[in-house]
A = this chain, B = another copy of it.
Amino acid sequence: MCRWMAYSGEAVPLELFLFKAKHNLIDQSMSSRSAETPTNGDGFGVGWYGSREIPGLFRSIRPAWNDFNLRDLAAQLDTRLFLAHVRATSLATVQETNCHPFRWKNWLFVHNGEIFEVERMRRDLLMAVAPEYFGNVLGTTDSELMFHLALTLGLEKDPPRALARMAGLVERVGREKGVAEALWMTLGISDGRKVWAVRYASDRQAPTLFHSRDMRDVYAVNPELEELVGPTARVVVSEPIGAYSQNWVEVPQSSLLEIDGSDLEIRPFAPE
Protein backbone atom coordinates (compact mmCIF):
# COMPACT_ATOMS: atom_id res chain seq x y z
CA MET A 1 0.00 0.00 0.00
CA CYS A 2 3.04 2.24 -0.18
CA ARG A 3 6.74 1.70 -0.85
CA TRP A 4 9.61 2.76 1.37
CA MET A 5 13.29 2.41 1.87
CA ALA A 6 15.88 3.09 4.54
CA TYR A 7 19.61 3.63 3.99
CA SER A 8 22.44 3.62 6.49
CA GLY A 9 26.14 3.81 5.73
CA GLU A 10 28.69 6.13 4.22
CA ALA A 11 27.26 9.35 2.87
CA VAL A 12 25.69 8.91 -0.54
CA PRO A 13 23.89 11.35 -2.79
CA LEU A 14 20.19 11.01 -2.00
CA GLU A 15 19.47 10.73 -5.69
CA LEU A 16 21.41 7.50 -6.03
CA PHE A 17 18.63 5.37 -4.58
CA LEU A 18 15.75 7.72 -5.33
CA PHE A 19 16.40 8.48 -8.99
CA LYS A 20 19.49 6.83 -10.43
CA ALA A 21 19.25 3.15 -9.58
CA LYS A 22 17.23 0.85 -11.80
CA HIS A 23 13.66 0.48 -10.49
CA ASN A 24 14.42 3.08 -7.85
CA LEU A 25 11.93 4.29 -5.27
CA ILE A 26 10.57 6.99 -7.56
CA ASP A 27 10.09 4.44 -10.34
CA GLN A 28 8.14 2.46 -7.74
CA SER A 29 5.92 5.47 -7.05
CA MET A 30 4.71 5.28 -10.67
CA SER A 31 4.84 1.55 -11.14
CA SER A 32 5.70 -0.86 -8.38
CA ARG A 33 5.36 -4.60 -8.23
CA SER A 34 2.80 -4.38 -5.45
CA ALA A 35 -0.42 -6.10 -6.38
CA GLU A 36 -2.49 -3.83 -4.17
CA THR A 37 -0.94 -0.54 -5.18
CA PRO A 38 1.01 -0.53 -8.41
CA THR A 39 0.92 3.27 -8.25
CA ASN A 40 1.98 5.20 -5.16
CA GLY A 41 1.19 8.73 -6.22
CA ASP A 42 -0.52 10.09 -3.11
CA GLY A 43 2.45 12.01 -1.83
CA PHE A 44 5.95 11.26 -0.69
CA GLY A 45 8.48 12.19 1.95
CA VAL A 46 12.10 11.87 2.79
CA GLY A 47 13.79 12.35 6.14
CA TRP A 48 17.57 12.57 6.12
CA TYR A 49 20.24 12.84 8.80
CA GLY A 50 23.17 15.20 8.31
CA SER A 51 25.12 17.45 10.58
CA ARG A 52 22.17 18.73 12.59
CA GLU A 53 20.69 17.25 15.77
CA ILE A 54 17.41 16.55 14.08
CA PRO A 55 16.87 15.10 10.64
CA GLY A 56 15.58 17.18 7.77
CA LEU A 57 12.09 16.41 6.47
CA PHE A 58 10.68 17.12 3.05
CA ARG A 59 7.12 15.99 2.46
CA SER A 60 4.81 16.77 -0.43
CA ILE A 61 1.43 15.71 -1.75
CA ARG A 62 2.79 15.70 -5.29
CA PRO A 63 3.38 12.33 -6.90
CA ALA A 64 7.09 11.74 -6.37
CA TRP A 65 7.67 11.26 -10.06
CA ASN A 66 6.70 14.81 -11.06
CA ASP A 67 8.08 16.91 -8.22
CA PHE A 68 11.01 18.98 -9.49
CA ASN A 69 11.93 20.15 -6.00
CA LEU A 70 12.49 16.55 -4.91
CA ARG A 71 14.73 15.88 -7.91
CA ASP A 72 16.76 18.95 -7.13
CA LEU A 73 17.01 18.25 -3.43
CA ALA A 74 18.05 14.67 -4.07
CA ALA A 75 20.68 15.91 -6.52
CA GLN A 76 22.15 18.31 -3.97
CA LEU A 77 22.14 16.33 -0.73
CA ASP A 78 24.56 13.74 0.53
CA THR A 79 23.39 11.83 3.56
CA ARG A 80 24.58 8.96 5.73
CA LEU A 81 21.13 7.80 6.79
CA PHE A 82 17.70 8.42 5.36
CA LEU A 83 14.17 7.07 5.19
CA ALA A 84 12.04 7.71 2.12
CA HIS A 85 8.44 6.80 1.40
CA VAL A 86 5.95 7.02 -1.45
CA ARG A 87 2.32 6.79 -0.47
CA ALA A 88 -0.74 5.06 -1.87
CA THR A 89 -4.04 5.52 -0.12
CA SER A 90 -7.64 4.96 -0.98
CA LEU A 91 -9.63 8.11 -0.43
CA ALA A 92 -7.94 9.05 2.82
CA THR A 93 -6.89 12.67 2.90
CA VAL A 94 -3.81 13.50 0.91
CA GLN A 95 -1.97 16.26 2.78
CA GLU A 96 1.63 16.79 3.78
CA THR A 97 0.94 15.85 7.39
CA ASN A 98 -0.31 12.46 6.17
CA CYS A 99 2.93 11.76 4.29
CA HIS A 100 5.70 9.71 5.84
CA PRO A 101 8.21 9.87 7.42
CA PHE A 102 6.82 11.22 10.65
CA ARG A 103 9.29 12.87 12.97
CA TRP A 104 9.75 13.34 16.70
CA LYS A 105 12.99 15.02 17.66
CA ASN A 106 15.69 12.79 16.17
CA TRP A 107 13.29 9.94 15.36
CA LEU A 108 11.82 9.10 11.95
CA PHE A 109 9.09 6.56 11.20
CA VAL A 110 7.66 5.12 8.00
CA HIS A 111 4.98 2.50 7.54
CA ASN A 112 3.54 0.35 4.80
CA GLY A 113 0.29 -1.40 5.54
CA GLU A 114 -2.77 -0.60 7.56
CA ILE A 115 -4.79 -1.11 10.66
CA PHE A 116 -7.94 -2.79 9.38
CA GLU A 117 -11.17 -0.93 10.16
CA VAL A 118 -9.10 1.67 11.98
CA GLU A 119 -12.10 4.00 12.15
CA ARG A 120 -13.57 1.78 14.86
CA MET A 121 -10.39 2.10 16.90
CA ARG A 122 -8.98 5.51 16.10
CA ARG A 123 -10.56 7.31 19.01
CA ASP A 124 -9.34 4.77 21.54
CA LEU A 125 -5.88 4.61 20.02
CA LEU A 126 -5.59 8.39 19.91
CA MET A 127 -6.46 8.55 23.57
CA ALA A 128 -3.71 6.07 24.33
CA VAL A 129 -1.15 8.59 23.08
CA ALA A 130 0.54 10.24 26.06
CA PRO A 131 -0.03 13.99 26.47
CA GLU A 132 3.65 14.78 25.92
CA TYR A 133 3.51 13.36 22.38
CA PHE A 134 -0.10 14.28 21.57
CA GLY A 135 0.68 17.72 20.16
CA ASN A 136 2.98 16.12 17.60
CA VAL A 137 0.08 14.32 15.88
CA LEU A 138 -0.51 16.63 12.92
CA GLY A 139 -2.41 14.38 10.52
CA THR A 140 -4.99 11.62 10.44
CA THR A 141 -3.21 8.45 9.37
CA ASP A 142 -3.11 5.19 11.27
CA SER A 143 0.63 5.23 10.52
CA GLU A 144 1.25 8.43 12.45
CA LEU A 145 -0.89 7.06 15.25
CA MET A 146 1.23 3.91 15.46
CA PHE A 147 4.36 6.03 15.70
CA HIS A 148 2.99 8.04 18.59
CA LEU A 149 1.77 4.92 20.37
CA ALA A 150 5.26 3.47 20.04
CA LEU A 151 6.69 6.70 21.47
CA THR A 152 4.20 6.49 24.32
CA LEU A 153 5.21 2.89 24.99
CA GLY A 154 8.92 3.67 25.24
CA LEU A 155 10.35 3.95 21.72
CA GLU A 156 12.97 6.43 22.83
CA LYS A 157 14.28 3.98 25.46
CA ASP A 158 13.79 0.48 24.02
CA PRO A 159 12.63 0.47 20.43
CA PRO A 160 12.09 -3.25 19.90
CA ARG A 161 10.06 -3.55 23.10
CA ALA A 162 8.03 -0.43 22.36
CA LEU A 163 7.17 -1.67 18.87
CA ALA A 164 6.09 -5.03 20.25
CA ARG A 165 3.95 -3.31 22.87
CA MET A 166 2.45 -1.02 20.24
CA ALA A 167 1.53 -3.99 18.05
CA GLY A 168 0.02 -5.70 21.06
CA LEU A 169 -2.04 -2.66 21.94
CA VAL A 170 -3.39 -2.27 18.44
CA GLU A 171 -4.34 -5.93 18.18
CA ARG A 172 -5.96 -5.84 21.64
CA VAL A 173 -8.05 -2.76 20.90
CA GLY A 174 -8.88 -4.32 17.56
CA ARG A 175 -10.25 -7.45 19.17
CA GLU A 176 -12.29 -5.34 21.61
CA LYS A 177 -13.88 -3.65 18.60
CA GLY A 178 -14.56 -6.91 16.79
CA VAL A 179 -11.58 -6.84 14.43
CA ALA A 180 -9.84 -10.16 14.83
CA GLU A 181 -6.66 -9.50 12.84
CA ALA A 182 -6.10 -5.78 12.82
CA LEU A 183 -2.46 -5.30 11.97
CA TRP A 184 -0.72 -5.60 8.60
CA MET A 185 2.56 -3.76 8.40
CA THR A 186 6.15 -3.16 7.65
CA LEU A 187 7.80 -0.39 9.65
CA GLY A 188 11.01 1.58 9.27
CA ILE A 189 12.36 3.55 12.22
CA SER A 190 15.58 5.40 12.98
CA ASP A 191 17.03 7.57 15.73
CA GLY A 192 19.83 8.80 13.49
CA ARG A 193 22.27 6.08 14.56
CA LYS A 194 20.47 2.77 14.18
CA VAL A 195 17.72 1.61 11.87
CA TRP A 196 14.98 -0.79 12.90
CA ALA A 197 12.51 -2.48 10.59
CA VAL A 198 9.60 -4.74 11.37
CA ARG A 199 7.66 -7.15 9.19
CA TYR A 200 4.52 -8.33 10.92
CA ALA A 201 0.85 -8.99 10.28
CA SER A 202 -1.84 -10.42 12.49
CA ASP A 203 -2.60 -12.93 9.73
CA ARG A 204 1.11 -13.59 9.20
CA GLN A 205 0.96 -12.26 5.64
CA ALA A 206 2.66 -8.91 6.00
CA PRO A 207 3.73 -6.89 2.95
CA THR A 208 7.11 -7.62 1.42
CA LEU A 209 10.36 -6.43 3.01
CA PHE A 210 13.96 -6.98 1.96
CA HIS A 211 17.39 -6.03 3.26
CA SER A 212 20.66 -5.73 1.39
CA ARG A 213 23.49 -8.18 1.82
CA ASP A 214 26.77 -7.15 3.37
CA MET A 215 28.41 -4.89 0.81
CA ARG A 216 31.46 -7.10 0.51
CA ASP A 217 29.24 -9.83 -0.87
CA VAL A 218 27.58 -7.29 -3.15
CA TYR A 219 30.92 -5.99 -4.45
CA ALA A 220 32.00 -9.55 -5.21
CA VAL A 221 29.13 -9.86 -7.69
CA ASN A 222 28.88 -6.23 -8.78
CA PRO A 223 32.27 -4.53 -8.43
CA GLU A 224 31.01 -1.38 -10.17
CA LEU A 225 29.01 -0.59 -7.03
CA GLU A 226 32.21 -0.10 -5.05
CA GLU A 227 32.59 3.45 -6.22
CA LEU A 228 28.93 4.27 -5.64
CA VAL A 229 28.13 2.76 -2.25
CA GLY A 230 30.45 2.46 0.74
CA PRO A 231 31.30 -0.80 2.52
CA THR A 232 29.18 -0.25 5.63
CA ALA A 233 26.00 0.41 3.67
CA ARG A 234 22.79 -1.33 4.64
CA VAL A 235 19.48 -0.78 2.85
CA VAL A 236 15.97 -1.94 3.69
CA VAL A 237 13.29 -1.80 1.01
CA SER A 238 9.64 -2.72 0.43
CA GLU A 239 10.70 -4.08 -2.92
CA PRO A 240 14.16 -4.47 -4.40
CA ILE A 241 15.88 -1.53 -6.02
CA GLY A 242 18.59 -1.95 -8.61
CA ALA A 243 19.35 -4.49 -11.26
CA TYR A 244 20.50 -7.42 -9.13
CA SER A 245 17.87 -9.37 -7.20
CA GLN A 246 20.52 -11.56 -5.59
CA ASN A 247 21.69 -8.56 -3.56
CA TRP A 248 18.49 -8.65 -1.55
CA VAL A 249 17.40 -11.00 1.22
CA GLU A 250 13.76 -11.29 2.19
CA VAL A 251 13.01 -10.40 5.80
CA PRO A 252 10.94 -13.23 7.30
CA GLN A 253 7.40 -12.78 8.52
CA SER A 254 7.13 -11.71 12.17
CA SER A 255 10.68 -10.34 12.35
CA LEU A 256 12.43 -7.29 13.65
CA LEU A 257 15.64 -6.17 11.98
CA GLU A 258 18.21 -3.96 13.69
CA ILE A 259 20.97 -2.20 11.77
CA ASP A 260 23.93 -0.71 13.62
CA GLY A 261 26.64 0.39 11.22
CA SER A 262 27.15 -2.54 8.92
CA ASP A 263 25.93 -5.03 11.52
CA LEU A 264 22.50 -6.41 10.82
CA GLU A 265 20.58 -8.61 13.22
CA ILE A 266 17.20 -10.23 12.74
CA ARG A 267 15.11 -11.35 15.70
CA PRO A 268 11.61 -12.75 15.98
CA PHE A 269 8.90 -10.14 16.48
CA ALA A 270 5.70 -10.73 18.36
CA PRO A 271 3.14 -8.35 19.78
CA GLU A 272 3.42 -8.00 23.52
Contacts and interface: CB of A to CB of B under 8 A. Distances in A.
Interface of A: 30-31, 38-39, 41-42, 48, 50-52, 56-63, 66, 68-69, 72-73, 75-76, 78, 89, 91, 93-97, 119, 122-123, 126-127, 131, 134-135, 137-140
Contact of A41 (B41, B59, B89, B139): B41
What is the count of identical protomers in the complex? 4
12 contacts: A41-B41, A41-B66, A42-B63, A56-B73, A59-B68, A68-B96, A69-B69, A93-B96, A95-B97, A97-B140, A122-B134, A123-B127
Nearest to A129: B123
B58 A73 contact: yes
Given A75-B52, A138-B140, A62 B60 contact: no
Contacts of A51: 78
A139 B139 CA distance: 7
Given A51-B78, A126-B126, 11 more contacts: A41-B63, A56-B72, A57-B72, A60-B69, A66-B94, A68-B96, A73-B73, A95-B95, A97-B140, A123-B131, A123-B134
A58 B69 contact: yes
A162 to B, nearest CB: 20
A235 to B, nearest CB: 22
Given A31-B39, A39-B41, A93 B138 contact: yes
B95 A76 contact: no
Nearest to A78: B51
Contact of A52 (B48, B76, B119, B126): B76
B75 A56 contact: yes
Contacts of A94: 62, 66
